[in-house]
Structure 1
């Protein structure tokens, strides 16, 4: 038994294979070689989930952009007044960017919290699905009684930062458009 199961290949090469009989009657493999198909499946699932998460974040960013465009259209008069009072385009971008930062922080922190709750309560959720006759991760298929999960702070951080940056970018586009609007035209339409 190894202290570090991920060193099985090194132990096999250095300690076991050199001492094996040459007649080929014995076969030595690591646990990773025995379960290569499952590891490949898990790797593919992680890649697909990452793609799905990125797509969801992109759709969310476009939704935020649409909301911010709506806000800038509704605030045309206020933008015109601010420009007439001497606000620079950079100051106007700052106003909307601040709103985007707040949305990004609140949305990112809410997403992190909900994601953490789902991971912590995954077995409760699986049991609830099973009570409805739906088993999304059958043990016959994946070989696990429960749904294993590893919580890596770096992954939580990367998802939060990516979501926050996408929110800021989605906010910048309508903010820049609003800052370039004509003050006189906005005030004439009051």
Structure 2
């Protein structure tokens, strides 16, 4: 049978509950304190893994839903692109570019009866929009092919259609900022539109404010002869900033080239700041749990002074005594870290089942659609986050064991046995 080193055997024995007639109650209490320390580390690690996974999932889900409506890269001009077909062909021939489509973008005011809503007016090319976004797949009523030039049809976001109380075939009025000069002064430009479709992207901000027209109709309303820009889709959205810089060197300097990360910089910066702050706050929870080991091990050292003295009189060196209590602390830290990683992964990987169950039991909704971008709690577990949290918790446990183990090594046998 394999014989364990004596310091390992004694350190693990101190970690477990060992009851005897003489000191059974006190040993049991020490084991209970060790269990509490282990549980505290495990809960802190699990909480940090779940929170980081949820925030990663939230960022990924919102980003993907944004990019199902928005484009990876936009090339725009304030007065339109006169030779947009040539520019489109040139951009489409570049590496990593998957699709290019014309667009017209503006703001407007949509009204029906006494109800008025501010909207983002977007002109698209029905035949080419599928190459740059998922918009054609998001129709819940109608079809993108129903947007025909000259018909002045409009496709509304699902939430916007509900706000206005419209269905397919209803008519709405669109007012655009550009006005017409009349003898009575500047009059706002208004056009009646026929609702030909409804889209649901799952992103409340866009579903409640998006009005889509054929780009030629949108250009006519804005008195433009050409599209105001091009929408570009690339093969890797994470490389969109680099690809945008490359395209900027190919197009005329008068054109603006922006990527999705710049267009939504404030939102993503806020999410990253929140993630960092949550990491710091929950790390403090793990630190508190890890440094509970100090009190646990100090109590163990005080309780085991007679044992330490006996070992010293039998020839044990101070280094061996120190290693015994280091092993006890490391065992607690390792068990807590591994248990926390396991619990955190279990919860994070099943968050889509756990959260709806809690909402059903308590009849609450954690993410109302009219407040948050999404209505379901997502999770994206990343290996580097799990490893970072687990190793950090174990490292804090190592730090917490240094002082008690050194104190144990300094116990003098004569002093320890004086009152025994």
TM-score (norm 2): 0.41
Query: What residue number does 2:381 align with?
Result: 151
In 1: Cα distance, 2:365 partner to 2:269 partner: 22
Query: What residue number does 2:299 align with?
Result: 70
In 1: Cα distance, 2:375 partner to 2:257 partner: 27
Retained in 1: the 8 A contact 2:290–2:333? no
Moved more, 174-183 or 5-14: 5-14
The answer on 1:178 being equivalent to 2:408 is yes
In 2: Cα distance, 1:140 partner to 1:33 partner: 25
**Would the alpha carbon gap of residues 2 and 119 (structure 1) be closer, same or farther in structure 2, given more than 3 Å must change?**
same
C-alpha RMSD of the superposition: 2.3
Normalized per residue, which structure has more helix?
A: 1
SS class of match (1:62): helix
Task: State the Cα deviation string for residues 115-169 of structure 1 (Å, max 9, x = none).
Answer: 1112101222322343325544545444234334332222211221111121122
Moved over 6 A (4+): none
Query: What residue number does 1:188 align with?
Result: 418
In 2: Cα distance, 1:68 partner to 1:49 partner: 30
Q: For the pair shown, which has the larger CA radius of gyration, 1 or 2?
A: 2
Retained in 2: the 8 A contact 1:119–1:149? yes
SS class of match (2:327): helix
Moved more, 133-142 or 82-91: 133-142
Shift of 1:95: 0.9
In 2: Cα distance, 1:20 partner to 1:12 partner: 13
In 2: Cα distance, 1:175 partner to 1:18 partner: 66
Retained in 2: the 8 A contact 1:126–1:135? no
Shift of 1:21: 8.7
* 5+ residue gaps, structure 1: none
SS class of match (1:29): strand
In 2: Cα distance, 1:144 partner to 1:45 partner: 17
The equivalent position to 1:9 in structure 2, one of 241, 246, 252, is 241
The equivalent position to 1:83 in structure 2, one of 306, 312, 316, is 312
**Would the alpha carbon gap of residues 170 and 12 (structure 1) be closer, same or farther in structure 2, given more than 3 Å must change?**
same
Task: State the Cα deviation string for residues 12-44 of structure 1 (Å, max 9, x = none).
Answer: 33326753694x7xx653221232222112111
SS class of match (2:295): helix
The answer on 1:106 being equivalent to 2:338 is no
Query: What residue number does 2:275 align with?
Result: 46
**Would the alpha carbon gap of residues 97 and 138 (structure 1) be closer, same or farther in structure 2, given more than 3 Å must change?**
farther
Equivalenced residue count is: 187
Retained in 2: the 8 A contact 1:72–1:178? yes
In 2: Cα distance, 1:126 partner to 1:38 partner: 25
Query: What residue number does 1:123 align with?
Result: 352
The equivalent position to 2:398 in structure 1, one of 148, 157, 168, is 168
Task: Give the structure, 1 or 2, with the largest relative contact order (CA under 8 Å, sep 6 or more).
Answer: 1
SS class of match (1:176): helix
Retained in 1: the 8 A contact 2:367–2:375? no
Query: What residue number does 2:266 align with?
Result: 37
In 1: Cα distance, 2:247 partner to 2:284 partner: 47
Query: What residue number does 1:59 align with?
Result: 288
* 5+ residue gaps, structure 2: 1-232
